[in-house]
Amino acid sequence: MTKLTQWLCGLALLGSAWAALTLAPPGLRLPAPYQQALLPLPVYLLVAFGCYSLATVGYRLATFNDCEEAAAELQEHISAAREDLRRRGLRF
């Protein structure tokens, strides 16, 4: 099972529970304060997920490792390509 499938299954489970509680079947009646807190719950969860996503991206960006060997190798390839183009008559 892929991670996307796991997330979608969890989202479907939470969504169906939310819908069941919000639509209030005949045998289940929630008190008014709970009902008022339950209605905007998907918006709160979406905002929380956005905050978590931004924090995760920010953390990963702050702890990103540099690959100095790969950068040096890439600079060598660029120099070789420029030299090859100069031999073929292209001027920079």
Residue pLDDT, tens place only, 38-75: 889 999 999 999 999 999 999 999 998 888 899 999 99
CA–CA distance, 62 with 44 (Å, rounded to integer): 27
Query: Where does 24-67 have alpha helices with state H?
Result: 32-38, 41-62
Q: Kindly list the distances between the CA atom of residue 23 and the CA atoms of 32, 45, 58, in Å, as whole numbers in the listed order.
A: 13, 19, 38
pLDDT at 76 over 90: yes
pTM above 0.75, yes or no: no
